[in-house]
Amino acid sequence: GDSVTQMEGPVTLSEEAFLTINCTYTATGYPSLFWYVQYPGEGLQLLLKATKADDKGSNKGFEATYRKETTSFHLEKGSVQVSDSAVYFCALTSSGGYNKLIFGAGTRLAVHP
């Protein structure tokens, strides 16, 4: 079945460091891909998405490119801030339809001043 694999955390960085969180997927068909972010004590918020191969999603300085050849959707940011500390989830739309999402396990990011 469809699945998402993310790099394990926690990821600990200093402010202004470069961030990469790896995400790879297995899916039938052509899923849409998402990054969601969960700040402490809150629900999930959509960070960015891409709907087809070679699309780049971007938001708040974060970027991810839909790579069909490597089945990847890695999240990057050039200069992280303390306020980026959160849990990041990679997800895809299941081939089962009805916009059902399959999530990765999540990667916790901690940014220190």
User: Could you list the residues that contact another protein (CB under 8 A)?
Assistant: 4, 31-32, 36, 41-46, 49, 51, 89, 93, 97-101, 103-106
Least distance from C-beta 24 to another protein, angstroms? 14
- Cβ distance to another protein smaller for residue 31 or 84: 31
- Cβ distance to another protein smaller for residue 5 or 71: 5
Is residue 78 a contact partner of residue 63, using CB atoms and an 8 Å limit?
no
Least distance from C-beta 63 to another protein, angstroms? 18
- Which pairing describes strands 56-59 and 23-26: parallel, antiparallel, or unpaired? unpaired
- Cβ distance to another protein smaller for residue 12 or 14: 12
Dihedral, CA atoms, 59, 8, 72, 14, nearest 10 degrees?
40
Least distance from C-beta 49 to another protein, angstroms? 7
Kindly give, in sequence order, each residue whose CB lies less than 8 Å from that of residue 59, ignoring residues fewer than 6 positions away.
47, 48
The kind and range of the H/E element at 19 are strand 19-21
